Amino acid sequence: MEQAQLQISRWSWLRILLGGAVLFVLLERALLATSDILYLPSILLIGAFTVPVAFIALLYSRAKVPDVPWSTLGWCFLWGGVVGTVLAGRLEYETLKHLGTLPTIAIGVSEELAKIVVPLYLLWRWRYKSVFDGLIIGAATGAGFAALESMGYGLVALIASGGNINAAVETLLFRGLMAPAAHIAWTSLLCGALWYAKSHYGFKARRQLTNTLVGVILLHAIWDSVTSTAVLIALGSVSLLWLLLRVRQAERQGL
């Protein structure tokens, strides 16, 4: 197993969040003042990555003695995000081609299964045993997926609006703020259940894994089927509360 890195400050996440917000504002103002499109990639990058990275730092800081080093989380963020988006896109394309439509439940199934490919490799390859290890690895993978997807949606919003930077900014802000309550929470919960099932054999572990898989897929499918901001916030609140309860349970039991 890789050697774990030192624990980070409880407030590292806030510094990342504030630093990213300042950089985003500076880049946006520079783009508006100069109309130089060279600023656009930086805006998409900072806008899509800041909140997911800050949330990972927040979750990681809760570990008393981290087992998973930052290098592994970075690997999950990059490879998990890329592999997840590529596989999910392919599965969704094949579903659309064969059915002529793309049901939201198919989106939920394809994306949630695609996101756990890299974590499953780590589950097999390394001896990270605790549920908290699974939670943080899943969160990092979900964060990478969410960040890359947000960059894509931000670019689409910019093109669809005829180059209106405000449309891209609004999309990045909304998706960035909601990422911890969506992809990050769902993948974290599912990987936590996978890690629990690995070290706890029996009906309880299998039931928890099944219930978690069904739960995150349903939440994802409902999320993709509604347009009301109020409903999305409610779904996000449920997801975050579920994740918070799971994190606290893992902390109390030392899982």
pLDDT, position 80: 95
pLDDT, position 137: 94
Residue 255 confidence (pLDDT) above 80:
no
DSSP state of 80: I
Residue written as token pair 């030392």: 254
Cβ neighbours, 10 Å, residue 63? 20
pLDDT, position 20: 96
Q: What value does the mean pLDDT take over residues 235-249?
A: 94
Q: Closest by alpha carbon to 45, among 176, 177, 184?
A: 176
R_g of the chain, CA atoms, integer Å: 18
pLDDT, position 66: 64
Q: Closest by alpha carbon to 185, among 129, 225, 245?
A: 245
Residue 2 confidence (pLDDT) above 50:
no
What confidence tens digit (pLDDT) does each residue in 121-158 have? 988 887 767 888 999 999 999 999 999 999 999 999 99
What confidence tens digit (pLDDT) does each residue in 57-106 have? 999 887 766 688 888 899 999 999 999 999 999 999 998 888 888 889 99
Alpha carbon distance 106, 217 (integer Å) = 9
Confidence tier at 212 by pLDDT (50, 70, 90): very high
Alpha carbon distance 115, 190 (integer Å) = 10
pLDDT, position 6: 52
pLDDT, position 4: 46
Q: Closest by alpha carbon to 206, among 214, 145, 255?
A: 214
Secondary structure element (H or E) that encloses residue 85, with its range: helix 81-99
Share the mean pLDDT of the chain. 89
Question: Which of 6-15, 107-116, 169-178, 208-217 is least confident?
Answer: 6-15
Alpha carbon distance 152, 161 (integer Å) = 14
- Give the tokens for residue 250: 């893992």
Cβ neighbours, 10 Å, residue 255? 19
Q: What value does the mean pLDDT take over residues 208-233?
A: 94
Residue 22 confidence (pLDDT) above 60:
yes
Alpha carbon distance 219, 225 (integer Å) = 10
Confidence tier at 3 by pLDDT (50, 70, 90): very low
Q: What value does the mean pLDDT take over residues 17-37?
A: 93
Confidence tier at 44 by pLDDT (50, 70, 90): very high
